Amino acid sequence: MLLDLDDDRRAFRATVRSWVDKNFPPDRALELEKREYQYPYELWEGLAEAGYHAVGIDEEYGGQGGNAVDTAVLARELARSLGGLSWVWGMSSFAGGKSLSHGGTDEQKREYLPRLAAGEIRVSIAVTEPGGGTDLLGAMTTRAEKVEGGWRVSGQKMWSTGAKEATYLLLLARSGPAEPGRRPPTTLLLVPTASPGIEMRYIPKLGMRAMGSCEVFLDDVFVPDSQLLGEPHQGFRVLLASLNNERIMSGALALGMIDGILEESVEYARTRTTFGKVIGGHQIIQHYIADTALGRKQAELMVFDAAWREAAGVPCHQEANMVKVVTSELAVAAADRGIQILGGMGISSETHAQRFWRDLRQFRIAPISNELARQNLAESFGLPRSY
C-alpha cells in the first residue's frame, strides 16, 4: 500500500504550515527561544486562537477530534519552525489531553478537556525524580498518603517542563509499600499548581530555553479525591496507556525539525560561495544534504506507520520504541550536519541548526533514554530483562 495522507490531512498540513510561516517563522522562533525562562505566552495564545490545542480531543468534550495521525501532522509542522518550542503545544496535549482521555472519569473529561481545548489551562508532567531517571518506579520517593477526602503528597520531582506556567501537574507518586518482586503501587493525581506546599525552581539547561523545566518541591500538599486519575494505586498503569503516543509524538517533532534543518541547509548551500562557486556544488556538501534527506524519509515512514497503528488500535509498543530511538538519532545527526554545512555560521546564535541541535539532543534521553528503549525492544523478542 502507499503510505500517505488523505486529502483532508493534506489540506490540514497545508493550513498549519501556512499559519506557522505567517505567525511563527524560524526567525521569530529564534527570538522567542532566546528569552530564557520567559514562557512564550503569545505562542500559547496563538495556538489557542488557531484551535490547535483542540486537535486530538474528542468533539464531545469541546475538541476538534482527530487521532494519532492528525496530531503527528500537527507536531511535524509546528516543529519545522518552532523546534523545541513545539512542546508549548505538546506538553499539555500529552499530559492533559491524552492522560485525561485515557484515565479521566466522564465528569473530569467534561470539566477539563473543553478548557484544555480552548487554551484556558496548561498541564505539566511531574513524574521524574532526582535520584531516579530511567529507574522511574524503583527509585521513586515522592509519596501520596490517603487521608480523609483526598491525598497528602510530599517529595520532589525533576524536569517538569512548563511547570511554573502550568495550571496543573500530572503527578505520579508511590502510594504504598512494594511487594517482593513487584512494582510499588503508584497513584496518578492532577495537582493544582496553586496548592499550598508547592515550590518550583528553574533548571538551567542546554535547549528549549523558553520552555523552562523545573524542580518541583511538594511539602504535605493536599490533593482532593476529585483530582485522582484512574484507580488508586494503579497510577502507572493509567500512565502506560499514553506512553506509546508520547514516543510517537516525540518522533513527529524530531521529524519536523529534520524538515527545518534540511530547508536551512539547502538554502545556505544554494547561496554561500567558496572557491568560486556555491558550496552546494561541492560533493561533500551534496552528500551531507543527501544523508539528511535519506534520514528524513526513514523517520517519516516510521512515524506515520506507528501513528496509523495507534489510530487503528493495533498494538504498537515495539514500533513506538523504534520510532523514538531512530528519529532522535537521525535528527541529532541531521542537526550536526546542518551546523557543519553552515561552517562558522553554524555555531552562531543567529542561525537555526544550532537551535535545533540544542533542542534535539535531549530527545536521545527523554521521554525514555535510547538505551532503555533498546532494552525494552530486546525484551519484546523474549530476551530476559537486563536491569
Domain ranges of the chain: 7-122, 124-233, 237-380
- Say yes or no to pLDDT of 1 above 60: no
Nearest to 216 by CA among 206, 204, 202, 195: 202
With 0-12 / 13-18 / 19 or more C-beta atoms within 10 angstroms meaning exposed / middle / buried, residue 114 is: middle
In which band, very low, low, confident or very high, does the pLDDT at 66 lie, cut at 50, 70 and 90? very high
Quickly state the pLDDT bin for 180 (edges 50, 70, 90): confident
Per the CB < 8 A criterion, the answer to whether 19 and 43 are in contact is no
3-state secondary structure of 198: strand
CB 208 within 8 A of CB 84: yes
Same fold across 124-233 and 237-380: no
User: Which residue in 185, 99, 180, 96 sits closest to 137, CA to CA?
Assistant: 185
The residue-averaged pLDDT of 233-257 equals 93
Pick the CATH number of 7-122 from 1.10.3720.10, 1.10.540.10, 3.40.190.10, 3.30.300.30: 1.10.540.10
Give Cα separations from 252 to 147, 258, 374, 380 (angstroms). Answer: 41, 10, 19, 23
| % the chain with pLDDT above 70 | 99
Range 237-380 classified under CATH 1.20.140.10? yes
Structure confidence at residue 2 as a pLDDT band (50, 70, 90): low
* Cα 134 from Cα 113, distance rounded (Å): 30
CA distance 307 to 234: 26
Which homologous superfamily is 124-233 in? Butyryl-CoA Dehydrogenase, subunit A, domain 2 (2.40.110.10)
Quote the cell numbers at residue 165: 506556567
pLDDT top residue among 126 and 135: 126
CA distance 271 to 386: 51
pLDDT, mean over the chain:
95
Instruction: Read off the pTM.
Output: 0.96
Span 159-177, pLDDT tens digits: 999 999 999 999 999 999 9
Three-state SS for 238?
helix
Could you give the C-alpha distances from 44 to 22, 24, 108, 246, in angstroms and in order?
A: 16, 11, 23, 20
Cβ within 8 Å of residue 112, ≥6 positions away: 96, 100, 104, 121, 190
Dist. CA 107–CA 116, nearest whole Å? 14
